[in-house]
Amino acid sequence: MSDAGIWHGGDLDVARRLFPDAPDPWIDLSTGINPIAYPVPPLPARLFERLPAPADHRDLEAAAAEAYGAPDAAMVVAAPGTQVLIGLLPALRARSRVAILGPTYAEHARAWRGAGHDVMEVASPDRAGEADVLVVVNPNNPDGRLLSRALLLDQAERLRARGGWLVVDEAFADFAAGETLVPVLPDNAVVLRSFGKTYGLAGVRLGFAVAAGDAAGTLRRVLGPWSVSGPAMEVGRRALRDRPWRLVAREARGRDARRLDALLEPRSEQPLAGTVLYRLMSGGRAPDLFAHLGRHGIWVRRFPFDPRLLRFGLPGCDEAWRRLEAAFASFV
């Protein structure tokens, strides 16, 4: 949980405070990160000893353009994680009316509100009214809601009439069934893509904005030179160009998601939701299940806006699966 009351996954210090008698090691299922990481090769010492060259930065963005389907590598801006980009975008506009399709990843609202914009959460795009900016997480976190490319293009056109922006966070799009907006990106839209979630390398701190028109150049100027480290560039370039690994990982994580569904469905009072990398269940006993799993050293994601919801990431090894299945079997 953050200092502003926004709850995030991955904070095992909170887990240990809540459940001090839980067995070690903890199984952290509170994030939506691929638990089977891309195999990082040995990296040469020069990557740590020297500043990365501009050509290396351009090649990283070219690799991302290839992976995401951008028609021009100049549209792709590399950054030290999409969280940085989420914080930067609100500073690039004068005070605006911002509609955020929610409930969703809370950092979007915090960033826009913190920059002085008027922020409202809407349940559907047609409720955005006269907003100057529409922010959509697609697929959505936590429920996996997917909006079609056609709908997003229509929203971008509506916003264009008043000089507005469409911001689409595609952090979980790599393994999603929906169509990315990147190949047909309007000039008043910005797409955010995460690297760490798909490749299981959140600590690398790498993410991308894809933007047509002036936005890409503006983001580059604001980020400045050497915004991405040499080691992150090298890992990113290799992984993004490894399409066979990505395809195999997508199939394997899909099987894991179906295995997790079989475990969660009997406990969920609503149809399961989410994406390949996380599953969302709902039920009146969710707080009891959260506490039960915590006492067994299993940390899952809860939500301040709805205590009936629990989000589960994928276990990453046989032992984690065994402990999770045993914990569910003992929940009465």
243 vs 200: CA distance, rounded Å: 15
pLDDT in tens, the chain (332 residues): 444 456 677 789 999 999 999 999 999 999 999 999 999 999 999 999 999 999 999 999 999 999 999 999 999 999 999 999 999 999 999 999 999 999 999 999 999 999 999 999 999 999 999 999 999 999 999 999 999 999 999 999 999 999 999 999 999 999 998 899 999 999 999 999 999 999 999 999 999 999 987 899 999 999 999 999 999 999 999 999 999 999 999 999 999 999 999 999 999 999 999 999 999 999 999 999 999 999 999 999 999 999 999 999 999 999 999 999 999 999 99
What is the distance between the alpha carbons of residues 102 and 142, in angstroms, rounded to a whole number?
Answer: 10
pLDDT recorded at residue 171: 98
Q: Is the dihedral of CA 67, 69, 71, 74 positive or negative?
A: negative
Q: Please write the tens of the pLDDT for every residue from 182-193.
A: 999 999 999 999
The two tokens of residue 160 are 């264009």
Which stretches of the chain are assigned E, i.e. beta strand? Answer: 27-28, 76-79, 97-101, 118-122, 133-137, 165-169, 189-194, 207-211, 273-275, 278-282, 298-299, 301-302, 309-313
Question: Around Cβ 6, how many Cβ atoms within 10 Å?
Answer: 13
* pLDDT score at 177: 85
pLDDT of residue 1: 42
User: With a threshold of 0.85, does the pTM exceed it?
Assistant: yes
What HEC string does 43-54 produce?
CCCHHHHCCCCH
